[in-house]
Structures are given as C-alpha cells and as structure tokens.
Structure 1
Amino acid sequence: MATYLENMRKHFQSNNRVREQYQTHSAKVHSVAWNCDGRRLASGSFDKTVNVYVLDNDRDRLSRDLTFKGHSDSVDQLCWHPKHSDLLATASGDKTVRIWDARANKSVATINTKGENINICWSPDGSTLSVGNKDDLLTFIDVKSHKTKAEEQFKFEVNEISWNTDGDLFFLTSGQGSIHIFSYPDLKLQYTIQAHPANCICIEFDPKGKYFATGSADALVSIWDVGELVCVRTLTRLEWPVRTLSFSHDGKMLASASEDLIIDIAEVESGEKISEITCQAPTFTVAWHPKRPLLAFACDDRDNYERDAGNVKVYGFPGENT
C-alpha cells in the first residue's frame, strides 16, 4: 500500500496540477488567508487594500469578489474568524484594526490602537483579537464590544503571535530566538523555550492540535510536540531566514518559505521532502486551504521582482476534495 508521502509526491509530480496567478493588487501582498469553510481567500497589500476572492470548486479557479478599502496605510496581516466564514480582521500601519463583513462588503468596526500594527490573530473561540505593533505592544480586543481588554508591553522584539488550538495558552516568538508561552486569559508566563540561536520569526499550529512549527533567521524550521513542548524534528532545506509557515488541513504537510526561490513542502511526521514549488521571488506568506491540498502564496516585489507585484498564486490539485 502506498504511503501518504508517496501519494502526495505523485500528486505533485503530476502534469495535472493547477498553477494559477492573479494580478489583483498594485503593490506587494503581505498576507493571504483562507476563510474557515475554504470558499474565500483574502489578500492584504502594501497598497492599503484587502481583496477577497471566491473559489470555484468545479474548476479550482479564483475570481475576485470584493475589495475592502478604508485603511490609510499598508495592510500588514489579516485573519479570518475561526468559525464565522464572513468576518475578516486586518492589522495596518495606520494604527487601527478593522473587522470586515464579506456579506455587507464593508468595515463593521474600526478599533484604534497605540502603534503601527504588524501582526494579528483570532482566538479559537472567535471572542478575542490580539494585535501586535512595531513597539512590541500586544493589545487584546473584545470582538463584541470592540474594546481593549488587556495590553502587554514587552522589552524584547515580538514577532509572530498565536493561541494554541484549545485557546488556553498564548504563544509568541521573539528576536532572541525564544518562544514565550502564557496562560490565557490571565497572561501569566508559563514557559520560555530557547528554540533557535537566531531570531525566531514565525509560528504556526497544525489544525489537529498535535504540533506547532517555528521558523527562524537561522534558516531552520522546527516542529514541536504541543503536549510535551519538545522539538521532534528540524527541517534544514532552506538557506535563508524562514518567514512563513502553513500546515495542511489534515496536519500532514508543512509548507515553509523564505528568500529562497522555492517553497518547501514537507511531510510532518518524517520531515522528508514531498516536493517544492519554484518561485520567481522571495515568498513571505503562504496558506493551505482548510479542507483541500490547495496552497495560496504571494511573492515579494522588491528590486527586480516588479513582475510579481500584487500577485496572488494558488498551487494544488484539480478535483482533490477531501
């Protein structure tokens, strides 16, 4: 019987795989994310806008559905509500967080914050947003009241933030190469793990709650057991700082990307390479579809990469519903 690894390798080697590119922004795309039911993909850009696309499951094609305008500075990160397929939150350099409703095609809330925001995440129950700014201040926002309910100022560089899948622990990665783990909602420090010798940039939890992964400036990807908080394997195939990570819907594949002109796709349980996606420029955002092996990503547009400015790309397999 063919293993999962063998099956996925065959899929990636097939000539029938889908590669689509959508020129939808006028400047670099900072963030891409699928909504919880996988019917929509959103992208946030340096051009201050958010685009929302609808997926045609019959053809595996995206079509642009909505454009959200209102931010006065770059949209640096976005995330969909974990349970409500129409609600989207964005973090911007204009010192605001906005919540958008895809049904109404408008912003339903604008929350003022104290700094230029660079990252955002939604709690698993959808009740709280956490946003981080360039001054390493984290703000926790009650989604119903749109009011700030807690703030935490850090004296070190805070990079990416995330709740665990149960929502009772809050994780952040630091410029010191460490992972800081807090109980939630009281935000008491529980553990500090020295995960990498260099800046720990990104963190991602698998949908099954078994593992989380971190990416670092040392070009390593570390996969951690959530329960034991131990590193179970390390991926070493990239050569530049790892900027973005995403687990597949079944938790069995991990995509990682950097300034390397490839996206590495690994089997989580073994760490072995399944495939790689060749890119024309550095890749700073990747996102697996929540139900199918479709990967959305966007590349940089610096220097000689203008041809990739504003592009969103999707890589996957036709008819592969799971």
Structure 2
Amino acid sequence: MDLLSAAYGATSDDEDAAGPPSSTPVATGSASFAPPPLKRPRWESHQYLPPTHCFPQQPLLNAATPLASPSSGRYVSKRERALLASSQAHVESGSPLPPRMSMEFDCTDGSITYTNLRADILHSLRCQPKPGPSTSFPLKLSVCLKGHTKAINCVDWSPSHGHLLASAGMDHTVHVWNVWDKGNTTARVLKHHTAAVKDVRWSLHRPFLLSGGLDCSVQLVDVVEGKVMKVFKEDQAVEVIKFNPSNPDIFLSGGSKGSLRLWDIRCGLVTKEFHRNLGTILDIDFSADGRQFISSTDTTRSNISENTIIVWDVMRQVPLSNQVYTEAFTCPCVRYHPREASFVAQSNGNYIAIFSARPPFKLNKYMRFEGHGVWGFPVKCNFSLSGRELASGSSDGCVYFYDYKSARLLRKIEAFKEACTDVAYHPVMPNVIASCSWTGEISVFE
C-alpha cells in the first residue's frame, strides 16, 4: 500500500506544466496516505506526419514534449518505453543516431533544373495535358542525345520533372538527360551498377530513379543528392522492374531465373513472390488499378507457348490465366491500355497482338498491328496519353504509329540506322516522343 500511495501521490511533470500545484498539503510521513491527484493526465494521440523519404527513419524527439518515464505516475505505452530506452542508450554511449544508408557513386554532375530550357518547352511543361486525342504526330527531330557507348535498353520520362529523361544502357550506366537544356543536356551519368543495366524507372512523385541490371541488384538513386539510397539484392540477373501505379512505394521485379518479386522500398524487403517455374522474364506491366499484372517469359513448348504470357492476381499471388497467347513466339514487350480493358504484346512474329484484359483474356484473332519488324531485338511499344495511338520501335530503325481502334498504320518516321529498341510518350506533352537505338543513340521528336 505504501508503494501504491507513493506512486499515485507523486505529481508528474505534465501536471506541473498544465497548471498551478494543488493547495492540499501532502503528508510525508510513512504512516500517512497522500490523496490522489485532482486529475490524471490523459494519453493524447499525435498526428502522423509521413517521412520526407521513402524509408523509415529514426523518429526525432521533440524537446517541447519530453517522453514520460515509468515513474511519472501516468500510463506509458510500449512505443514510448522503447523510444525512452533507445534515447537513453544513445546518451549513455555518446554516439549519434545512425545516419540513413547512402553510398556515393561516380557521376557526372550537370544541371537538372529547368531554368535554361527553351521558352516554348517551359510553357508546355507548365500546362496540364488537354483531354482528348492529340492533334498531330511527332514529325521533326527535336533533340539528338549521345553519350552511351553501347546499346540502350529503355528510356523513361520523369512524371514529376518533365524535362528529365532517363536511359539504361549495356555500358553499365544510367544517363539522366536535361533534354531541352540550352547548354549541357547531360545532367547525370550514374555508374552505380557493375554490369549492364536492363531497365530504369522514375518514381511517380519524386526525383528518384530505380534501376535493375545484370549485376543481380535493383538500386534506388536520389538524382538530386547523388546518392544510392537503397540496394535490393537478388539471386538472378534483373531484366525488368515496374512501380505499382496505386502505391509508389511498391515495385515488381523479374529476372533471368523466372522469379517475380514484389518489393517494399520503405523496408527493403520482399512482400510477395510469384512462382510458376518460368524462364527468363522478358517484360511485366501493371493494370491501371495495380490489382493485376501481366508477365511475358521466353518459355516455349513445341509449337504452343506455355506460360508465355500470364495474367496474375497481385493480392492472391495466383495466375488468372496462363494460356493467353498460344502461338510459337516470345513477346519482348507487354503493355496495358491506359483507358480500356485490353493489353497488347509485341511478338517476335513481327506484329503486335491485342488481348482482352477481362477473363478469359482472349486474343483478338481479327486484328493485329503489322508493318514493323522485331527479328529477335528487344523492341518495345507504348500507348499515347489518350490511348488512341500505339507507337512501336522496329528492327529497321523506324518508329511506327498505329491507330488503336483499327490497327491501321498512320505514320512511320526514320529515327536510326540500326534497330529502334524503345519508344516513350511524354507524360505532359502528347506530341513529344523519345526513342532509343541499339547503337546507343536517343532521338526526341516533337
């Protein structure tokens, strides 16, 4: 009883700060019992503030609201006890809080700002994209970017910084281009990979780059600070990566051993795995709501492709269909339509096939996009912002534009002398498209 009396009779620091002390005298003798305080302080929840970075950091202690000790007389939650123990351990050891993991890498620093852009480009970037179909196609060569020494596997526009373009090359580098800068268009040359880089993707809302390559790693880079923020190690060469459109902290990776893994960049761990005894993953793409994704592999059996294209349910981790494409060709690229329930697959049969995105995911046997060539190159295709046009690279170095509804060839422009491996529509300016080649060149048309 004496211990309980002493515990409940002690005045906490919070009570002292809340108001004047009580005028009721408190006996100090061992035989006297102290009366309970007038009002015990309530536990109040604090508003959660999301971290500025995508990884959990050590919480900062607020000097204005000190942590309560177990002897303060009020309830102390488990979280507060853990924070108190952590802070005391750091004070006793005299060492500061561990810094966020970052690794410097060899890079060429250029300008990533938009202060030196052309006036018309700057005006177009500040305007929101207009709804409806585009009024014209890219016709003239706007910028030619050179810097890679080997083939370029893909290009990707930054959705939050529209003047920046990233490219991944077989020369072990990732280039960041300030495309319309009047001075130096090379903003960054990132050399954080030790082997060929197969894919690169911008974060949806931040100037972060996610890249994967043949060194069996996926790396997240802060382009502004020039630091590798996180390294995700794999047991396979990474062929393709994609962010989940409904959650920018989640990305999917596919590699040479056929493994598909869903990663959380906040904790750096795998949250889901998708197993099907697949061959090398050639490409993946999420549906608009992020609940499904499609994968393309190089697994073939006899004259009928088995598991060449699989539609997956993300939550249940099960294939919804693995008999989508039954022709004896592999597909180096798959893309969901941005607005309609359909998706397309670039086939090594030198055409693009179209499928329904609803069960039973049937192939449209009466329409295909033909005229360009693939011939074993990793040729990719992409939809325009409105979804009315489909652009594709080609083994002859040209960019082909098709009407989505009729599959009719609308226009062909010559971009390179060798194979054009990827095309990417600008996220804001609908009549701007970037393309890359097997010889290491990038051409931007407008």
TM-score, reference length from structure 1: 0.84
> What are the equivalent positions in structure 2 for 1:1-322 lying under 5 Å apart?
7-8=135-136, 11=137, 17-37=140-160, 38-56=162-180, 63-81=185-203, 83-124=204-245, 125-157=247-279, 158-175=281-298, 176=300, 177=305, 178-192=308-322, 193-194=324-325, 196-227=327-358, 229-232=361-364, 233-241=367-375, 243-278=379-414, 279-292=416-429, 293-301=431-439, 310-316=440-446
Cα distance, 1:289 vs structure 2: 0.9
CA distance in 2, matches of 1:87, 1:296: 20
Cα distance, 1:276 vs structure 2: 0.9
Cα distance, 1:99 vs structure 2: 0.7
CA distance in 2, matches of 1:96, 1:4: 39
- The aligned amino acid for 1:202 is C
Which range moves more in the overlay, 188-197 or 247-256? 188-197
SS in 2 for 1:126: strand
- Identity of paired residues, percent? 19
Instruction: Show the counterpart of 1:306.
Output: none
CA distance in 1, matches of 2:217, 2:223: 19
How many residue pairs end up in the alignment?
Answer: 297
Cα distance, 1:185 vs structure 2: 2.3
Q: Which has the larger radius of gyration?
A: 2
SS in 2 for 1:194: coil
Cα distance, 1:210 vs structure 2: 4.1
- The aligned amino acid for 2:221 is W
Larger relative contact order, structure 1 or 2 (CA cutoff 8 Å, min sep 6): 1
CA distance in 2, matches of 1:185, 1:127: 16
Any stretches of 5+ residues in structure 1 without a counterpart?
302-309, 317-322
The structure with the greater share of residues assigned to helix is 2
Deviation sequence 1:150-178 (CA, Å, 0-9, x none)? 33344232321111111111211133343
The structure with the greater share of residues assigned to strand is 1
- The aligned amino acid for 2:432 is L
TM-score, reference length from structure 2: 0.62
Deviation sequence 1:212-255 (CA, Å, 0-9, x none)? 21101111102334346344531121243472111112212111
On the 8 A contact 2:325/2:363 being kept in 1, the answer is no
Instruction: Show the counterpart of 2:20.
Output: none
CA distance in 2, matches of 1:21, 1:172: 32
Any stretches of 5+ residues in structure 2 without a counterpart?
1-131
Deviation sequence 1:95-139 (CA, Å, 0-9, x none)? 110011222122111111111111111111213111111111222
Deviation sequence 1:73-103 (CA, Å, 0-9, x none)? 111111112x214121101111110011222
**C-alpha root-mean-square deviation of aligned residues, in Å?**
2.4
